[in-house]
Amino acid sequence: MKITAAEVFVGGPGKNYVTLKIMTDQGIYGLGDATLNNRETLPAAYLQDYLIPCLIGRDPRNSEDIWQYFYRGAYFRGGPIAMAAYGAIDMALWDIKAKLADMPLYQLFGGKSREGALVYAHAQGTDLEELLDSIAGYQEQGYKAVRVQCGIPGMPSASYGVSAQKGKAHNYITDFQGDAPHEEIWDTDKYLRFIPRALDRIRGQFGDELKLLHDVHHRLLPREAAQLGKELEPYRLFWLEDPTPAEDPAALRLIRQHTTVPIAIGEVFNSLWDCKQLIEERLIDFIRISATYGGGITHLKRIVDLAALHEVRTGFHGAPSHSPISMAAQAHLNAWAPNFGIQEYLVLDTPECDALFPSEHRVENGLFHVSDQPGLGVDFDESEARRYSYKRGFHPVARLEDGTLWNY
């Protein structure tokens, strides 16, 4: 069996999805996602200029060897651009392998460990009242876990994960389009004063059963994060995400000495080597790396296995940064992983997105039910894809009130 051709498409409904399609001489094709949020053209160029030419003629069933060939063969290691490109190839090869086996992908890992995988939705409000309404809305839809992000009283601009305008839905994609990064102002003291009060209200109103998550988005110093973790303990968070910048394990050691709040980190990681120390030293409770930036299924599965050895559970990134193909790759891992924790899930199922990526994966009552179609269980409609073109976007930039650049 041989790879005969591969093509990259960039675009989508409001989002520059980077979709790879690998064709074979047996008529079976595989799909992969290389969407690197707000830097989408870079993995696309890497695929087109360097990787696809080396794929043609290879046996697509040798996904391990192909992964090693690109990873080791590049000489330079890792990085989100390269790992997103290897990740897309790897997903497409597993898609082909499972289609050849005529099985849904999770069967190749060892079958299902659960019928539905717990997901969390994103509740947000420019103020607490709006956030409470947003949480209630998700609870009514059956969600059992909700991430809660709130505008901070007195903060000069919107805080992370919150719409700039009351009553307006926050859209991570269209809000970030434009020719330069939008700038936000951040004030740690105001944030630290308000968040415990907000969690107190939320727990009081929604009771003990609803799982609550909160994303600090890398904005605190280690001592501040330790203080916040301690203050939030009575509200029994499912997790506190990215309390400090992910690349500093020593910060987490300090936080761990002061609080038992569960910690989730890893959405900015792109290799096992980024995750290894945090997992082995049990500095985190959930690993957030994604199939796209994490080099695809082959590499992500190694991380999941390492995490299982250390009682770290999965909580894969699932912002609309990634396409439904990557979500499907993660859904198959989630169905199997003995150490599955939760899956971030932002509703992507607009009619336009469904038309571009048809699939039978579905979320019901807060659980992700993986499709039983052979392969990844997602298709890609090329004629739909031709309706879309690339639009540049940027992550916002955060500054302190005096102008000092901070972590977004």
Regarding 344 and contact with Mg ion (CB under 5 A), the answer is no
For residue 98, the tally of other CB atoms under 10 A from its CB is: 23
C-alpha span between 360 and 358 (Å, rounded): 7
Q: Which does 322 bind (CB under 5 to 8 A by kind): Mg ion, ligand KDG, none?
A: none
Number of residues that bind ligand KDG (CB under 6 A): 8
Residues in 168-227 at the binding interface with Mg ion, rule: CB under 5 A? 215
Shorter beta-carbon distance to Mg ion: residue 33 or 241: 241
Shorter beta-carbon distance to ligand KDG: residue 222 or 266: 266
C-alpha span between 237 and 392 (Å, rounded): 36
Q: Which does 37 bind (CB under 5 to 8 A by kind): Mg ion, ligand KDG, none?
A: ligand KDG
Among positions 24, 321, 330, 359, the unique one binding ligand KDG when judged by CB under 6 A:
321
Q: Which does 319 bind (CB under 5 to 8 A by kind): ligand KDG, Mg ion, none?
A: ligand KDG
Shorter beta-carbon distance to ligand KDG: residue 317 or 361: 317
Least distance to ligand KDG, CB of residue 272, Å: 20
Residues in 85-144 at the binding interface with ligand KDG, rule: CB under 6 A? none
User: Catalytic site residues?
Assistant: 160, 217
Least distance to Mg ion, CB of residue 210, Å: 19
| Residue 177, φ and ψ in degrees, nearest 5 | -75, 150
Contact segment (CB under 6 A) with ligand KDG among 72-80, 93-101, 223-231, 315-323 equals 315-323
The pattern of x and - marking residues 7 through 46 that bind ligand KDG according to CB under 6 A reads ------------------------------x---------
| Residue 109 Cα to chain centre, angstroms | 21
Contact segment (CB under 6 A) with ligand KDG among 151-159, 196-204, 314-322, 367-375 equals 314-322
Least distance to ligand KDG, CB of residue 232, Å: 17
Among positions 267, 274, 285, 384, the unique one binding ligand KDG when judged by CB under 6 A:
267
Contact segment (CB under 6 A) with ligand KDG among 8-16, 58-66, 93-101, 313-321 equals 313-321
Contact segment (CB under 6 A) with ligand KDG among 59-67, 276-284, 316-324, 347-355 equals 316-324
Q: Which does 344 bind (CB under 5 to 8 A by kind): Mg ion, ligand KDG, none?
A: ligand KDG
The pattern of x and - marking residues 213 through 242 that bind ligand KDG according to CB under 6 A reads --x-x-------------------------
Q: Which residues make up the interface to Mg ion (CB under 5 A)?
A: 215, 267
Q: Which residues make up the interface to ligand KDG (CB under 6 A)?
A: 37, 215, 217, 267, 317, 319, 321, 344
